[in-house]
Amino acid sequence: MAPRKTQKPFNSQITAPWVEPVTSEQTDSSSLIPLEQIHLPSEQPRRYFDEAALQKLVASIKQHGILQPLLVRPLKSGGYELVAGERRYRAAKVAELKEVPVVIRDLNDTDALQVTLIENLQREDLNPVEETEGILQLLSVRLSLEVPDVSSLLYRLNNEAAGLVNHNVMVNSEATPNHNVMANSEETPNHNVMVKSEEMTVIEFVFNSLARMGWESFVKNRLPLLKLPEEILEALRSGQIAYTKAQAIARVKDEQARQTLLEEAITQKTFLESD
């Protein structure tokens, strides 16, 4: 079935400077396609959905329809793959919609994954663990590295930056002469200079584009989150406990005592929310 045109605009806040932007022609109208033709991607950064919030969205969709089209890309095998709008997609299925408004774009695997990651990072209910993992995944795509290698790279660059503070010099990965040099500048005697590596350029570009925090702050305050005990990480990811409470519980060394505190914190949060 060919997509049917609708005049609902595509007002997504997704911005990815390195991905070809949606043109004005594409935003003028969207298409209506059968919901059953849309398939979820194999890589989905979002793991948890708040059930209460999802039910509110279902009620809104039943009353008003989907106000913001989904973003999809055509599949060679037929149908479409969802790029952005997974919560609306899931709510539409619960609401038993037959058709949904979409904007169709030809995106390669890399660009589609980046847009999906960016949409996830723009969620209002994003918790620190999801944000940290999402940024690492985005850097992984941009740097063509595995996620653990991205973490190692960030720690290494942070150590090099600390060396810059101590010695007033930083060099790139290539061999450099003993005199100090600055990229894109004329030779300046008696001045210590920094040459940025290609990796650092990509990292700074991503963090500047996201406009959330600097990469140094990310290394200092966010990467340590991923070293929390796994049961605490899972509780954080699923929104069962607050970030500050997770940090406090993680300081308890005794595993059994820590588990008891975690269960009490989850029970207390659930009780307060249902009160």
Kindly report the CATH number assigned to the domain that includes residue 109. Answer: 3.90.1530.30
* pLDDT given at position 197: 81
Please tell me the total count of domains within the chain.
Answer: 2
> 203 CB contacts (<8 Å, ≥6 apart)?
139, 143, 154, 157, 215
Query: What pLDDT shows up at residue 194?
Result: 46
Let me know if residue 52 belongs to a domain: yes
Q: Which residues constitute the domain of residue 259?
A: 228-275
Q: Domain boundary residue among 92, 120, 148?
A: 120
10-residue averages of pLDDT along the chain (275 residues): 50 44 50 93 72 88 92 92 92 94 92 87 79 92 93 91 58 42 43 63 90 90 90 87 88 92 84 48
Q: Is the pTM of this model over 0.85?
A: no
Do 45 and 106 touch, CB atoms closer than 8 A? no
Q: Is 71 exposed, middle or buried (0-12, 13-18, 19+ CB in 10 A)?
A: buried
| pLDDT for position 244 | 85
Q: Which of 120, 153, 175 is the last residue of a domain?
A: 120
